[in-house]
């Protein structure tokens, strides 16, 4: 009997520990959001007043990479994060055993091809160097954009999981360099062209409307697939904090700010 009681108490303790670990560690009156510096943190700054009206203070934690804002969310140090698209989040969950879910789409950032040593696609010489993001979903997206410009042809069915090894035809013998997304703008002086994520292009002073020599179409499959989302840890989809954050980020205040600020480099998706 004592052994059964001990086992029962141990099970209850374990359940309590698990429940405690799954909860956010943040203050009940504060919404803590992890975000990329541009444009996500800038967009979040616009909703402080809206959240204040709902009884919440907003704390923005800025990140320059893609990994820590997800692990911090999983660990309960953040209430939400706002920097990624769903394919990246799903891939991250699969590779890291995390339990993050999308609760809202906010905007879309078109990928662009930007000139480095070569000014246009037509001027590319045989063996030219093209830099692309080195993380899974973004690499595929970059390759699809290169394919859309007729520079390469991917194996049939490669789609959103394409990598360099899926290049079936490369008539110009282009050298595709996989580089960390955050470093792509700095690589421009060393390569002929670079395919750059929207947020890092903005951060590097580039405009998809003025500087890119090709870009994803706003009505393309990529625009639907790669919308930037608000993510929370599974189980927190319907909390008051989450509801307030979604309503604020999908408000006219945010729509007007995006359209007035980013010259087509950021497009509302609500």
pLDDT digits (tens, 9 = 90+) for 145-155: 999 999 999 99
Contact 196, 114 (CB under 8 A): yes
Q: Please tell me the predicted confidence (pLDDT) of residue 143.
A: 95
Task: Provide the CA 139 distance to its chain's centre, in angstroms.
Answer: 13
Q: Please tell me the predicted confidence (pLDDT) of residue 258.
A: 96
Q: What is the pLDDT of residues 72-96, one digit of tens each?
A: 999 999 999 999 999 899 999 999 9
pLDDT above 60 (res 156):
yes
Average pLDDT over residues 225-243: 96
User: 227: closest CA among 250, 209, 204?
Assistant: 250
**pLDDT band, very low/low/confident/very high, at 205 (cuts 50, 70, 90):** very high
Q: Please tell me the predicted confidence (pLDDT) of residue 23.
A: 60
- Domain 112-216: which topology? D-Maltodextrin-Binding Protein; domain 2 (3.40.190)
The rounded distance, in Å, linking the Cα atoms of 67 and 84 is 10
Q: Please tell me the predicted confidence (pLDDT) of residue 1.
A: 44
Integer Rg of the chain from CA: 21
**pLDDT band, very low/low/confident/very high, at 22 (cuts 50, 70, 90):** very low
Average pLDDT over residues 209-238: 90
Average pLDDT over residues 20-42: 86
pLDDT above 60 (res 261):
yes
Report the chain's mean pLDDT, rounded to a whole number: 90
pLDDT above 50 (res 16):
no
Enclosing H/E stretch for 255: helix 252-261
Residues of the chain with CATH 3.40.190.10: 2-109+226-268, 112-216
Q: What is the pLDDT of residues 64-73, one digit of tens each?
A: 989 999 999 9
Average pLDDT over residues 265-270: 92
To the question of domain 2-109+226-268 being in CATH 3.40.50.1100, the answer is no
Q: Is 97 left (phi over 0), alpha (psi -120 to 50) or beta?
A: left
pLDDT above 60 (res 15):
no
pLDDT above 50 (res 257):
yes
């Amino acid at each position: 009997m004592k052994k059964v009681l001990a086992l029962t108490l141990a099970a209850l303790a374990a359940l309590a520990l698990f429940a405690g670990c799954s909860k956010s560690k943040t203050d009940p009156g504060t919404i803590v959001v992890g975000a990329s510096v541009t444009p996500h943190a800038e967009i979040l700054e616009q909703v402080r007043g809206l959240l204040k009206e709902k009884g919440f203070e907003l704390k923005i934690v800025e990140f320059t990479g893609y990994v820590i804002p997800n692990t911090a969310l999983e660990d309960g140090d953040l209430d939400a994060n706002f920097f990624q698209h769903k394919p990246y989040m799903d891939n991250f969950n699969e590779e890291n055993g995390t339990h993050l879910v999308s609760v809202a789409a906010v905007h879309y950032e078109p990928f662009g091809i930007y000139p480095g040593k070569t000014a246009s696609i037509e001027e590319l010489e045989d063996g030219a160097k093209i830099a692309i993001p080195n993380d899974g979903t973004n690499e595929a997206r970059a390759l699809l954009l290169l394919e859309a410009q007729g520079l390469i042809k991917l194996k049939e069915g490669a789609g959103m999981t394409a990598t360099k090894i899926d290049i079936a035809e490369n008539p110009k013998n282009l050298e595709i360099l996989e580089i960390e997304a955050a470093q792509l703008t700095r690589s421009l002086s060393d390569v002929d062209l670079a395919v750059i994520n929207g947020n890092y292009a903005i951060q590097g002073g580039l405009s998809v409307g003025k500087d890119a020599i090709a870009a994803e179409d706003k009505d393309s499959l990529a625009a639907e697939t790669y919308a930037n989302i608000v993510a929370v840890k599974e189980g927190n989809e319907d909390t008051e904090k989450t509801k307030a954050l979604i309503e604020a980020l999908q408000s006219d205040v945010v729509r007007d700010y995006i359209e007035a600020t980013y010259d087509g480099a950021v497009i509302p998706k609500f």
